[in-house]
């Protein structure tokens, strides 16, 4: 298609979106009283099937605490199935190591919905190309507009080239298989010692016959292969086991027209999507993909938001220690690209209301604190950051000064300046929290 034809098509779509928007605002007013979605969609959920032999082996490994040096820590200890595969404790991080006394420096993420996480890359901001959109439905909720206001992280020439995808807060693993060996060996986590020690434990595990059945007896003699197959099995378990991606939140059912949102939840959703207000959907995508996959509440991109330093982390007792995310210290391959220092992966918000630790450093323990951060970071920073001895507010105190320019100050609600009116009122913050609570899996639909 030549560029003029493309342009015409684009213009046509914009006109269409405008018309639909006008029509749907009416629909939403009606929805407000009933609380149902005026334009239900069909969501494509992953098919539920029996776990393969490979996934069953992975399940054994996922729950096997003997693989840790303490003998009492398995994947499930930090990624608890009763907490959306997130941390079961109330603290900012989990403890590991031989005596369970070593503190990690990052919050434990939920393992739900990682099956759709793309590999790590640094490239053009694809925006929500594959995402979205049933125009008719989302235009009314402000989503269409929200997408157009999302600017890429960073400033200047690099503005449209963004890090995206990958696992961990800094994206340093690509696949669930690559990822699984990190916690097994991390001295702050399972502290498994070495690949040789882990392989030995696998050879003596009660489920060792499953390896032999799947790969033949030879696998036990080949340490590299044994570990690789074990990690592959852990990945298969996370991909196949339905509870890692159930899509059973109230919001999913609302999208399908099977549940009603309360007035507060619905108002929260509108604010969440509204590019001039909270603009949460600019990064935490709330609309289904074009082919009906449920939204993941992340655009898989990295942003530097300038969260406050968490004084309760042992690592932070060293004033020269900074967790810079994509540019280190955990990963080193992107370290020279200093425009990415301070960037962390946008996490899914599904099941976020079940957590007690928010952001990469676990600095927030309630959703109210998270909302205050978004609302007041720029208008009233004294409500978010600590003060130095001289009384000055230490904005972005978890990032060396030379990287402060990396922090996002363009995407609403971060486009405000001191003295401006905050993007949200107390009531609006509360409504957004009410909406976030509709993202918790396990909602029971009334018949």
- The footprint of ligand HEC (CB under 6 A) covers 73, 75, 77-79, 94, 96, 104, 106-109, 111, 114, 167-169, 176, 179-180, 183-184, 189-190, 234, 278-280, 282-284, 303, 305, 307, 330, 344, 346-347, 349, 352, 355, 358-360, 370, 374, 408, 411, 413, 432
Q: Which is nearer to ligand HEC, 180 or 259 (CB)?
A: 180
Shortest reach from residue 136's CB to ligand HEC, in Å: 24
438: left (phi over 0), alpha (psi -120 to 50) or beta: alpha
Nearer to ligand HEC, 254 or 376 (CB): 376
Give the span between the Cα atoms of 336 and 338, in whole angstroms: 5
Q: Which is nearer to ligand HEC, 135 or 370 (CB)?
A: 370
Of 90 and 291, CB closest to ligand HEC: 90
Comparing CA positions, the residue from 242, 261, 240, 270 lying closest to residue 439 is 261
Beta-carbon neighbour count of residue 4 at 10 Å? Answer: 8
**Residue 210 CB neighbours (<10 A):** 18
Q: Which is nearer to ligand HEC, 294 or 412 (CB)?
A: 412
- Burial pattern 220-237, b for ≥16 Cβ within 10 A else e, equals beebeebbebbbbbbbbb
Minimum separation from the CB atom of position 248 to ligand HEC (A): 19
Cβ 146 to ligand HEC shortest distance, Å = 9
Q: Tell me how crowded residue 440 is: count the other CB atoms within 10 A of its CB.
A: 17
Minimum Å distance from CB 115 to ligand HEC?
Answer: 10
> From CA 377, how far away is CA 304, in angstroms rounded?
13
Least CB distance to ligand HEC at residue 19 (A): 28
Residue 291: CB minimum distance to ligand HEC, A: 24
Nearer Cβ to ligand HEC (140/190): 190
Q: What Å distances lie between residue 338 and 123, 257, 397, 404, CA to CA?
A: 16, 46, 17, 11
Residue 417: exposure state from Cβ atoms within 10 A (0-12, 13-18, ≥19): exposed
């Amino acid at each position: 298609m030549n560029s003029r034809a493309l342009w015409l098509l684009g213009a046509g779509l914009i006109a269409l979106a405008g018309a639909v928007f006008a029509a749907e605002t009416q629909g939403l007013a009606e929805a407000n009283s009933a609380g149902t979605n005026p334009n239900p969609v069909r969501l494509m959920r992953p098919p539920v099937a029996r776990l393969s032999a490979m996934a069953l082996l992975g399940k054994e490994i996922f729950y096997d605490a003997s693989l840790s040096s303490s003998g009492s820590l398995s994947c499930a200890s930090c990624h608890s199935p009763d907490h959306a595969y997130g941390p079961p404790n109330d603290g900012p991080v989990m403890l590991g190591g031989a005596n369970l006394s070593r503190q990690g420096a990052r919050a434990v993420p939920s393992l739900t919905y990682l099956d759709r996480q793309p590999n790590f890359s640094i490239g053009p901001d694809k925006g929500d190309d594959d995402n979205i959109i049933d125009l008719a439905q989302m235009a009314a909720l402000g989503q269409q507009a929200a997408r157009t206001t999302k600017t890429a992280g960073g400033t200047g020439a690099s503005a449209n080239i963004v890090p995206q995808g990958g696992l961990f807060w800094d994206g340093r693993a690509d696949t669930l298989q690559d990822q699984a060996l990190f916690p097994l060996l991390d001295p702050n986590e399972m502290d498994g010692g070495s690949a040789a020690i882990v392989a030995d434990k696998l050879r003596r595990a009660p489920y060792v016959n499953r390896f032999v059945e799947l790969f033949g007896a030879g696998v036990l003699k080949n340490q590299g292969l044994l570990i690789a197959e074990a990690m592959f099995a852990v990945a298969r378990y996370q991909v196949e086991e339905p509870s890692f991606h159930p899509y059973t939140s109230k919001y999913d059912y609302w999208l399908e027209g099977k549940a009603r949102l309360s007035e507060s939840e619905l108002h929260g959703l509108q604010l969440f999507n509204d590019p001039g207000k909270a603009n949460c959907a600019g990064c935490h995508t709330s609309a289904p993909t074009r082919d009906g996959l449920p939204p993941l509440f992340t655009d898989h991109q990295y942003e530097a938001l300038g969260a406050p330093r968490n004084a309760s982390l042992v690592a932070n007792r060293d004033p020269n220690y900074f967790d810079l995310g994509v540019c280190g210290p955990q990963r080193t391959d992107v370290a020279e690209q200093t425009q990415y220092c301070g960037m962390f992966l946008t996490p899914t918000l599904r099941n976020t209301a079940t957590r007690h630790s928010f952001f990469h450093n676990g600095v927030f323990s309630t959703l109210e604190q998270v909302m205050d951060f978004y609302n007041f970071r720029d208008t009233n920073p004294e409500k978010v950051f600590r003060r130095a001895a001289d009384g000055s507010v230490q904005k972005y105190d978890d990032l060396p000064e030379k990287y402060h320019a990396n922090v996002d100050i363009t995407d609403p609600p971060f486009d405000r300046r001191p003295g401006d009116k905050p993007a949200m009122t107390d009531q609006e913050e509360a409504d957004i929290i009410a909406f976030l609570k509709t993202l918790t899996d396990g909602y029971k639909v009334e018949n």
